[in-house]
Structure 1
Amino acid sequence: MVTGATSLSMVRDELFVTMEEAEQSLEHFIAERNNGSLLQQAVESLHQVRGTLNLIELAGAELLAQEILQQATDIPAGAGAERDGQLSALSNALHVLRRYLENVEASRQEMPELLLPAINDLRQAGAQPPLPESFFFSARLDQPRPRIAASTLDSAARVEEGRRLRHMYQVGLLGFIREQSIQASLKLMARAVARLDSLFANDPRGRLCWVAAAALEAQVEGQLLARKSRKQLFSRVDRELKQLLANPQYEVPRSLLKELLYLVALADSRGPLASEVRNVFGLTPLPFTDQMLEDEYQRLSGPGQAVMRSLSTAIREELASVKDSLDLLGRGTAQPESLVTLHAQLGKLAKTLGMVGLSSAGNALQVQLPIVVSWSEGASADGDALNKLADAVLYVEGMVASLERGGRHEPRPQTQPGQEAESFASHQLTEARIVVIDEAKAGLALAKRAITAYLESNGDKMHLANVPFSLQAVRGGLWFLGQERAALLVGSCADYIQTQMLESQQMPSEQMLETLADALTSLEYFLEGGAMLRRDSESSVLDLAAESVRALGLPVAA
């Protein structure tokens, strides 16, 4: 609200002094837990802060101040280590509140959504349920869903098909929760709920599938972050799907509907489902994006991945300088003083890598230091020693790349000094496997596009001419990767296309073609996961593909 942001300047000085008093009293109490008067002083100051924010109508800031006050009031004098979490959350929340108010004063614009992470950290520390992302969002929730063509399946068949599609959703959800191939997992979930929507579109229970499909489309196209709250949201959708399949009169809870609509509004996706939902519910684009919220909150709370990426860039620049020195050594044109510089660079890099948790990379450089010292003292830089140092630098460069990507990765196995060449060779083999996987994914995507074109052209077989051959090539690639079960399932899909679509005079039903697409989508998801999928996930995904192949009437090996 403009009023709150404008009024802040009128009370700023007094408000900030009071906040500083609260922070100091709290800090002193943390050091002197038995001094209850310090805690009481902090509580009194927080009362004033909350009252002032209420007076100038800064709703988000007032809510955070209220949460801080409640938590501070809950802490007793003499609090022990069991209250450390609450005290830490209090200190962080006060820091965030101050930074937020400074930003509001500077920009004259409120963004209360920025305060939700700090509010929920406080609530978690106090064993209270978190506030939803959509807490500050509002929408009309009673808009009717436009009617579409009804499914031709009877009620029992729809429920049976619904169970298979819920399984598909669960497989994707598991990958999303574990952050394994997030985009592929979301696409699998989106396909599942979109197919469920086609089954139950004109039933009251279809409303959940319709809005959830739009939210997932928005999550994918808007590249929204995989926040914990969103994992919980889509897990809740799964639980609701179970009720939906069991109860023909099921209606989606309003709180869940609001959360899903918030994602649609946040992403401002141009996809067909999200656009339809946005129009029906009258959603307008929000004045911020998901990434903007994340960036602004990082500024409020302190350094995050941006700092790590900056550090990575600096390390890579140092590595480039090291490689230049190695090049001069290899040519025999290095000056003695350059060896001293090289030794200093390697030592500095080794320490830095250890500090950011890349201990094996740091060790790889550390063991090279005595060799560089011997070179500076007059020993000749022989080819083997130079190659080992070059291998170590390449290994470090690969490890540092994870910092620059800023993503979550499984920790690499520790490489022993002297084994950098083997590690690099293993990395090259992994790259080769990725090429095979990419080719296989391209083959499956081609098959899916061809099936869509075949359906839209009312059975023009020309669109399918090369599909069995492409799928057999995919099958061969999977055999090469040691994925025999996946290869057999791809082969079954190729056989179905050959016998039931190319050689048959009758076009399969739309339901069967969708089921075939489900099988290919599941296999595509399996490949999207690649080496990142856990073994238990692999089995689950292939079970899902096998269910679809079985639904096509084809035998499936156990």
Structure 2
Amino acid sequence: MVKGGTSLALVRDELYATMEQAELSLEQFIVERDNGSLLQHAIEALQQVRGTLSLIELTGAEMLAQEVYQQATDIPTGAGSERDGQLSALCKALFVLRRYLENVELLRQELPEALLPTINELRQAGHLPSLPESFFFSVRLDQPRPHDGHSGAGLDAALSRRLQHMYQLGLLDYLRGNNLPASLKLMMRALQRMDAGLAGEPGRLCWIAAAALETCSDAQLLPRRSRKQLFSRLERELKHALHKPGHEISRSLLKELLYLVALGASQGDLARQVRNTFNLTPLPFTDHMLEDAYQRLSGPGQAVLRSLSAAIHEELAGLKDLLDLIERGTAQPESYASLHGLLGKLAKTLDMVGLSSAGNALQAQLPVVAEWSAEQPPQPDSLHRLADAVLYVESMVASLQREQRPAVVPPGQEAQSFANHQLTEAHIVVVGEAQAGLNLAKRAITSYLESSGDKLHLANVPSTLQAVRGGLWFLQQQRAAWLVGACAEYIQKQMLEAAQTPPGQLLETLADALSSLEYYLESGAVMRPETRPSVLDLAEESIKALGMAVPANA
């Protein structure tokens, strides 16, 4: 319960009437740009709105009203098209402010963080810097790191370069929105390895940043633009920290990272340590609650396409049921008309979502299906062609759900497209098995270390990795297959057959190689031949650091 939510009821009618005056004056000014009195009326009404919100202590709403007021005063009479973006942002902000106040009045709860996207859109339209996500968040940044045996033994140049490369590879895919869990995992791995070798503030930064990435992964925090900018900024900060001794770590960067740790409430070890150290209490909202609140304020959400895909699948299921009845000869007389209507409706839906090739495939079948009836049932060839078209549509929708651009095929080649789709599905199964094999190997190595070198934990690891190697050969990924085989050979000769356990640094390097290969699989590189081989370069560097010879054609 907030004071502003209670007080809002007392000024509600007058406040909403003043906001409506501001909106009308602003909308009329957009049409009549030379009428300065319209703009002045809007500014006066906005000033009154701002004062009222300040009086009833609605912090977030007052901030948004203040931004709207300042932007409006910046617009001159006779503003040209160069101000269209700013005027549009003003109108949207007033709409959001009205929706926000209605929610506060209904729920008696203020959530100013939900207004930050609108405030920042408005500031960007006025060429002002955006406010950070942590604007309403407070924390003491001077808390010392607990003594947990961290030594900061140092990083040599080669290892430092390899770990920076590892972080950059994960960051690149994170920026592109490709396979976020794998990207976050690789970035976190790089930071943990840096933390092990860095002392002082640089090590503390890596520790906090790794906890933030752990939280992003565990709590599935959304990859907002501000977070992509944050982790890009972190990459630059790490570069300065590694190459410029005595570099002062940005306090605003630390605050943003700690905000993510507090927001996600991850149960991971790193996140728990950081929360305890900085006394971070759980926030009264989650990232997804914020997103839902913002979508309620600004309009429809981003899940429309996913819901539409599910609806298309339901339509396809009904279509296939009708086809099955017709093929068996048990369809009702009205089933043929239903089939024709369903095909036409589905074709239009596919065109609307951009799957014009799939829509055309169904559209081409409409004249044929129109001739079918109980008295004139379809010939087997015609029925099979329609079935091929339906299967093609199903594969296109599946590609859309995987966020891949579906391949367009000419009419008549739907069967071949479906066969390609089935082959792709088989590849996905093989990749999944390979990922599981690498995960099993990493868990076994962890158990081996925790048991002080009990080789029983490693007994099945070489054979498991050789099976992964075989799967990669099937996928024509010869280089990745060779690197996995090299890991299997190292484990067999240097860990199982050797009398002594390899040094910890070499075991970490082996884990780097396996992590790079795991990322290569999880990031979809196997399914996208155009993907650059940088990840495999990283794995190869780790293999070389283990002292193993790498053939020139690997």
Whether these two folds match at TM > 0.5 is yes
| 1-structure distance, mates of 2:530, 2:423 | 24
Contact 1:325–1:334 (8 Å) recurs in 2: yes
| 2-structure distance, mates of 1:342, 1:109 | 51
Match of 2:466 in 1: 472
Match of 1:187 in 2: 185
CA shift for structure 1 position 533: 6.8
| 2-structure distance, mates of 1:62, 1:390 | 59
Match of 2:508 in 1: 514
Q: Deviations over 1:88-144 (max 9, x none)?
A: 222221111111110000011000010011111112222222111111111111100
Contact 1:22–1:45 (8 Å) recurs in 2: yes
Match of 1:343 in 2: 340
| 1-structure distance, mates of 2:294, 2:170 | 29
| 2-structure distance, mates of 1:531, 1:371 | 42
CA shift for structure 1 position 484: 1.3
Aligned to 2:296, which of 294, 299, 305? Answer: 299
Distance 1:29-1:487 versus aligned 2 partners, 3 A rule: same
Partner SS state of residue 145, structure 1? coil
> Could you tell me the percent identity over the aligned residues?
68
Contact 1:454–1:461 (8 Å) recurs in 2: yes
Q: TM-score, normalised by structure 1?
A: 0.94
Tell me if 1:441 matches 2:435. yes
Q: TM-score, normalised by structure 2?
A: 0.95
Amino acid at match of 2:170: G
CA shift for structure 1 position 545: 0.8
Q: What is the RMSD of the two structures over their aligned residues, measured on CA atoms?
A: 2.0
Distance 1:459-1:315 versus aligned 2 partners, 3 A rule: closer
Match of 1:529 in 2: 523
Contact 1:207–1:252 (8 Å) recurs in 2: no
CA shift for structure 1 position 513: 0.3
Match of 1:15 in 2: 15
Distance 1:398-1:103 versus aligned 2 partners, 3 A rule: farther
Partner SS state of residue 372, structure 2? helix
Runs of 4+ with deviation above 6 angstroms = none
Contact 2:399–2:406 (8 Å) recurs in 1: no
Tell me if 1:219 matches 2:213. no
Distance 1:78-1:557 versus aligned 2 partners, 3 A rule: farther
Aligned to 1:501, which of 495, 499, 503? Answer: 495
Q: Deviations over 1:361-413 (max 9, x none)?
A: 2212111111111214964311121122222223333434567x5x7x23212
Amino acid at match of 2:451: S
Q: Which runs of 5+ in 1 are unaligned?
A: none
Tell me if 1:164 matches 2:171. no
Tell me if 1:373 matches 2:367. no
Partner SS state of residue 282, structure 2? coil
1:123-142 mapped onto 2 (5 Å cutoff): 123-142=123-142
| 1-structure distance, mates of 2:310, 2:460 | 46
| 1-structure distance, mates of 2:242, 2:248 | 11
Distance 1:115-1:401 versus aligned 2 partners, 3 A rule: farther
Q: Deviations over 1:124-183 (max 9, x none)?
A: 222222111111111111100012334484x4x445423221111111111111111110
Contact 2:468–2:481 (8 Å) recurs in 1: yes
CA shift for structure 1 position 335: 3.8
1:201-280 mapped onto 2 (5 Å cutoff): 202-280=199-277
Contact 1:448–1:517 (8 Å) recurs in 2: yes
Contact 1:116–1:131 (8 Å) recurs in 2: yes
| 2-structure distance, mates of 1:352, 1:13 | 43
Partner SS state of residue 204, structure 1? helix
Tell me if 1:357 matches 2:351. no
Amino acid at match of 1:61: A
| 2-structure distance, mates of 1:36, 1:417 | 59
1:42-53 mapped onto 2 (5 Å cutoff): 42-53=42-53
Q: Deviations over 1:265-287 (max 9, x none)?
A: 00001111100100110000011
Match of 1:31 in 2: 31
Contact 1:207–1:251 (8 Å) recurs in 2: no
1:108-123 mapped onto 2 (5 Å cutoff): 108-123=108-123
CA shift for structure 1 position 415: 2.8
Aligned to 1:196, which of 194, 197, 220? Answer: 194
Contact 1:364–1:392 (8 Å) recurs in 2: yes
Partner SS state of residue 201, structure 2? coil
Distance 1:152-1:294 versus aligned 2 partners, 3 A rule: closer
Per mean C-alpha deviation after superposition, the further-off stretch among 28-37 and 128-137 is 28-37
Contact 1:163–1:245 (8 Å) recurs in 2: no
Distance 1:482-1:214 versus aligned 2 partners, 3 A rule: same
Q: Deviations over 1:459-509 (max 9, x none)?
A: 222222221221122112111111111111112111211221122212111
Partner SS state of residue 453, structure 2? coil
1:302-451 mapped onto 2 (5 Å cutoff): 302-376=299-373, 379-401=376-398, 409-451=403-445
| 2-structure distance, mates of 1:114, 1:171 | 32
Contact 1:197–1:210 (8 Å) recurs in 2: yes
Distance 1:557-1:229 versus aligned 2 partners, 3 A rule: farther
Q: Deviations over 1:35-56 (max 9, x none)?
A: 3332222222211111111111
1:94-113 mapped onto 2 (5 Å cutoff): 94-113=94-113
Contact 1:180–1:532 (8 Å) recurs in 2: no
Amino acid at match of 2:217: V
CA shift for structure 1 position 345: 1.9
Amino acid at match of 1:178: R
